[in-house]
């Protein structure tokens, strides 16, 4: 049987859905109908090594999904089955670009799939952005999710008023974690130091700020609605900003609300929160130097559902953790102010003119805030030596085939997930995305159905098994030896399972739910390699098999694969 060796870089949803699709689709490769797709190669088995720079798998499921979103986190249970497939190995703690090169990976595997996601924050490009107290939401999310890159004491919540810029689902997550009574987080997996920081939080007001209108907001209705269900938290939206037409001369928002179900759902929620009492409703002045004034005079009737007025008052704040959450629209940040620390945020009223052009009105408003979190989207980080489109912040690709500078596919290189398409969609979106990449990868390795395979990135290692590099297992073994020589000790799946056990033990000892995350690299590595184990380190070329037993690489795997 021909064994194909594929490396997947990144063990988040994109990487693991790719591994799953590789194993499943390869099983279906032999073509009994005789159309030639499988060629003379016969049955094919794909073995997948999933690399991650962290010692922990699951990427954003572990370090991006908020701790109180337990049902989304349960996707890890599905992904766990992928890692436990006999044809998939987890190789944690190995960083492409630092511990090994792209060329080394390509030499060791028949194909490489990059699936490293999008971990860098986007910037606002406004004065004051680097003041203490101004942070990327990605850092804040990493902190409350216990990401080893952001230490447990990276945030203290001394601010009374926090501004969150952006109206996507990450902004909603961040606002919810800031506003929620921390007592409700006790039974989540949130790390103990983060829970204690949230318990000591002085935050009382959270302001979420969108530069365009409610119909342009990116959040989804389910996530938005959840904000209104937080006990002790009053949610409000200035009525004029909940009015679709007040700052929209082109009535674009109204049209979108008619055609887009998600937007309609969002508007039902937003209108319930609309109030004339929220801070700075900022109705346009009658002498405002824009067409807006006539579009929305200050006394214009607000098109909120009439039933909303009864609901308009935010819940009366309760003693203790009571907080308010205000969602604002049509305001763009122009400056973060403060001498040594953030003290406020200057916002400019925006609008769409009659032609739909987005513009500032020149009308400014200052919001008191001691902490500003920019939640304006993620960006992918270039991988050393791998083509990268700086403008779109993705690896240039055609349906998952990585494209070189001349626009043609590069042999053996593929991409999946946010690195392929940008930071959009929900976790499940990565499944169909990975399937597309895998279909093309396998078609290339097979050589394609066509007789003339010249256009394919690879001549088709399955169609010409005799001419293809054969000692696949040997090549992977050589790579493992290279890592060992460099002093790189990969974390195996069995070693990761020790982290899971340690986290369950910690939860028990704290009397907190099923799991409490270990926070920080040291704690994670100490759990992977307890001191008594480090003394008897297995050689680095011994990676545990998925069943949890440490086995040396099988020398038989180093022999040429049998094409039959």
Packing angle, helices 75-83 and 13-27, rounded to 10: 50
What are the residue ranges of helices labelled H in 289-425? 292-295, 308-311, 418-421
DSSP helix/strand/coil, 374? strand
User: Tokens 């009737």 correspond to what residue?
Assistant: 301
Q: Which residue is nearest to ligand NAP (CB)?
A: 168
Q: How far apart are CA 310 and CA 303, in angstroms?
A: 14
Where do the H-state alpha helices sit in 68-110? 70-73, 75-83, 102-108
Mask for 214-243, x = binds ligand NAP (CB under 6 A): --xxx----x--------------------
Nearest distance from C-beta of residue 506 to ligand NAP, angstroms: 26
145 or 278: whose CB is closer to ligand NAP?
145
Q: Which CB, 94 or 419, lies closer to ligand NAP?
A: 419
In whole angstroms, give the CA distance from residue 521 to residue 148. Answer: 5
Q: At closest approach, how far in Å is the CB of 378 from ligand NAP?
A: 5
DSSP 416: -
Kindly tell me which of 62 and 332 has the beta carbon lying closer to ligand NAP.
332
Least distance CB 66 / ligand NAP (angstroms):
7
Binding mask 308-347 for ligand NAP (x = CB under 6 A): ------------------------x---------------
CB of 65 to ligand NAP, least distance (A): 7
Task: Round to whole Å and give the CA distance between 259 and 271.
Answer: 18
Q: Indicate the residue among 426 and 450 with the shorter CB distance to ligand NAP.
A: 426
128 touches ligand NAP by CB under 6 A: no
Question: Residue 435 — φ and ψ, nearest 5°?
Answer: -60, -40
Residues 381-420: x where in contact with ligand NAP by CB under 6 A, - otherwise, as a string: ----------------------------------------
CA pair distance 392, 408, nearest whole angstrom: 18
Give me the least distance between CB of 165 and ligand NAP, in Å please: 5
Determine which residue in the list 211, 420, 458, 489 makes contact with ligand NAP, applying CB under 6 A.
211
The first and second tokens of residue 110, run together, are 């028949």
Q: CB of residue 435 vs ligand NAP: minimum separation in angstroms?
A: 19
Query: What angle do the packed helices 137-144 and 192-199 form, to 10 degrees?
Result: 110
d(CA 193, CA 187) in angstroms, rounded, equals 14
90 and 42 Cβ atoms separated by less than 8 Å: no
Q: Which is nearer to ligand NAP, 152 or 166 (CB)?
A: 166
Place of tokens 């009308």: 363
Q: How far is the CB of 509 from ligand NAP (least distance, A)?
A: 30
Report the residue from 127, 425, 548, 555 that binds ligand NAP according to the rule CB under 6 A.
Answer: 425
Burial of 320 (0-12, 13-18, 19+ CB in 10 A): exposed
Contact 346, 335 (CB under 8 A): yes
Q: Which is nearer to ligand NAP, 327 or 516 (CB)?
A: 327
Q: Which stretch binds ligand NAP (CB under 6 A): 86-94, 175-183, 349-357, 424-432?
A: 424-432
Q: Tell me the CA distances in angstroms from 222 to 166, 228, 230, 266, 306, one per residue in order.
A: 17, 11, 13, 9, 23
Count the site residues for ligand NAP by CB under 6 A.
25
Instruction: Scan for tokens 């009492």, then name that residue.
Output: 277
Stretch that binds ligand NAP, among 127-135, 142-150, 206-214, 446-454 (CB under 6 A): 206-214
HSE of 451, CA atoms in CB hemisphere, 13 A:
0
Residue of 1, 426, 510, 547 that binds ligand NAP (CB under 6 A): 426
Q: How many CB atoms lie within 10 A of CB 126?
A: 16
Least separation, in Å, of the C-beta of 362 and ligand NAP? Answer: 17
Q: Residues 22, 46: contact at Cβ < 8 Å?
A: yes
Tell me which residues in 360-379 interact with ligand NAP (CB under 6 A): 375-378
Nearest to 446 by CA among 87, 49, 35, 113: 35
Measured from the CB atom, the residue of 269 and 528 that comes closer to ligand NAP is 269
Among 16, 83, 124, 434, the residue binding ligand NAP under the rule CB under 6 A is 124
Minimum CB distance to ligand NAP, residue 136 (Å): 10
Residues 6+ apart with CB under 8 A from 448: 456, 460, 463
152-191: contacts with ligand NAP (CB under 6 A): 165-171, 173
Contact between 212 and ligand NAP by CB under 6 A: the answer reads yes
Which region among 6-14, 92-100, 210-218, 280-288 touches ligand NAP (by CB under 6 A)? 210-218
* Interacting residue with ligand NAP among 15, 67, 417, 423 (CB under 6 A): 423
Q: Say how many C-beta atoms besides its own lie within 10 A of residue 271's C-beta.
A: 23
- The answer to whether 193 touches 519, Cβ cutoff 8 Å, is yes
- Pick 428 or 539: Cβ nearer ligand NAP: 428
- For the CB of residue 119, give the shortest distance to ligand NAP in the complex, in Å: 12
For residue 359, is it left (φ>0), alpha (ψ between -120 and 50) or beta? beta
In the complex, least distance from residue 78 CB atom to ligand NAP, rounded to whole angstroms? 16
Q: What is d(CA 19, CA 7) in angstroms, rounded to the nearest whole number?
A: 9
Give least dist CB 422 to ligand NAP, A: 9
Of 282 and 403, CB closest to ligand NAP: 282
* Least distance to ligand NAP, CB of residue 386, Å: 22
Q: Which of 424, 432, 551, 559 binds ligand NAP (CB under 6 A)?
A: 424
Nearer Cβ to ligand NAP, position 143 or 493? 143
3-state DSSP assignment of residue 173: helix
Question: Smallest distance from the beta carbon of 167 to ligand NAP, in angstroms?
Answer: 4
| CA 275 to chain CA centroid, nearest Å | 33
The first and second tokens of residue 307, run together, are 């039933």
Six-digit token pair at 26? 């390869």
**84 or 149: CB nearest ligand NAP:** 149
Residues that bind ligand NAP (CB under 6 A): 124, 165-171, 173, 210-212, 216-218, 223, 332, 375-378, 423-426
């Amino acid at each position: 049987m021909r064994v194909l060796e594929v490396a997947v870089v990144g063990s988040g949803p994109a990487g693991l859905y790719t591994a799953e699709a590789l194993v499943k689709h390869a099983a279906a490769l032999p073509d009994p109908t005789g159309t030639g797709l499988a060629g003379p190669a016969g049955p094919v088995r794909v073995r997948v090594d999933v690399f991650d720079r962290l010692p922990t798998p699951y990427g954003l499921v572990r370090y991006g999904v908020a701790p109180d979103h337990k049902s989304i986190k349960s996707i890890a249970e599905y992904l766990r089955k992928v890692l436990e497939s006999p044809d998939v190995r987890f190789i944690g703690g190995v960083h492409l670009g630092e511990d090994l090169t792209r060329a080394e990976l390509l030499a060791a595997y028949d194909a490489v799939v990059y699936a490293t996601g999008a971990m860098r924050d986007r910037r606002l490009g406004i004065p004051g952005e680097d003041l203490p107290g101004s942070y990327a939401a990605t850092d804040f999310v990493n902190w409350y999710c216990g990401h080893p890159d952001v230490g447990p004491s990276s945030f203290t919540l001394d601010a009374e008023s926090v501004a969150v810029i952006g109206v996507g689902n990450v902004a909603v997550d961040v606002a919810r974690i800031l506003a929620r009574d921390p007592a409700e987080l006790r039974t989540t997996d949130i790390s103990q130091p983060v829970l204690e920081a949230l318990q000591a939080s002085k935050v009382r007001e959270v302001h979420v700020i969108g530069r365009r209108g409610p119909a342009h907001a990116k959040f989804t209705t389910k996530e938005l609605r959840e904000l209104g269900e937080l006990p002790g938290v009053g949610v409000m939206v200035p009525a004029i900003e909940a009015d679709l037409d007040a700052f929209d001369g082109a009535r674009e928002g109204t049209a979108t609300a008619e055609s887009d179900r998600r937007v309609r759902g969002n508007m039902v929620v937003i209108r319930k929160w609309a109030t004339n009492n929220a801070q700075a409703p900022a109705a346009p002045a009658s002498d405002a130097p824009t067409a807006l004034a006539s579009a929305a005079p200050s006394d214009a009737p607000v098109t909120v559902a009439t039933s909303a007025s009864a609901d308009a008052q935010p819940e009366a704040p309760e003693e203790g953790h009571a907080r308010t959450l205000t969602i604002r629209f049509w305001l763009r940040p122009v400056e973060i102010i403060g001498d040594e620390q953030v003290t406020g945020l200057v916002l400019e009223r925006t609008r769409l003119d009659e032609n739909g052009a987005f513009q500032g009105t020149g009308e400014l408003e200052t919001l008191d805030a001691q902490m500003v979190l920019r939640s304006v989207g993620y960006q992918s980080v270039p991988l050393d030596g791998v083509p990268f489109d700086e403008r779109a912040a993705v690896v240039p690709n055609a349906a998952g085939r990585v494209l070189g500078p001349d626009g043609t596919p590069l042999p053996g290189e593929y991409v999946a997930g946010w690195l392929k398409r940008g930071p959009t969609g929900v976790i499940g979106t990565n499944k169909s995305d990975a399937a597309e990449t895998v279909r093309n990868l396998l078609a290339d390795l097979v050589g394609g159905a066509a007789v003339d395979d010249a256009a394919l990135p690879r001549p088709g290692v399955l169609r010409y098994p005799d001419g293809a590099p054969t000692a696949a297992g040997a090549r992977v073994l050589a790579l493992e030896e290279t890592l060992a020589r460099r002093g790189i000790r990969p974390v195996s799946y069995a070693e990761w399972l020790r982290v899971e056990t340690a986290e369950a033990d910690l939860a028990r000892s704290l009397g907190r739910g099923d799991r409490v995350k270990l926070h920080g690299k040291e704690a994670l590595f100490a759990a992977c390699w307890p001191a008594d184990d480090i003394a008897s380190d297995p050689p680095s070329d011994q990676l545990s098999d998925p069943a949890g037993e440490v086995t040396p690489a099988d020398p038989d795997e180093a022999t040429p694969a049998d094409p039959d």
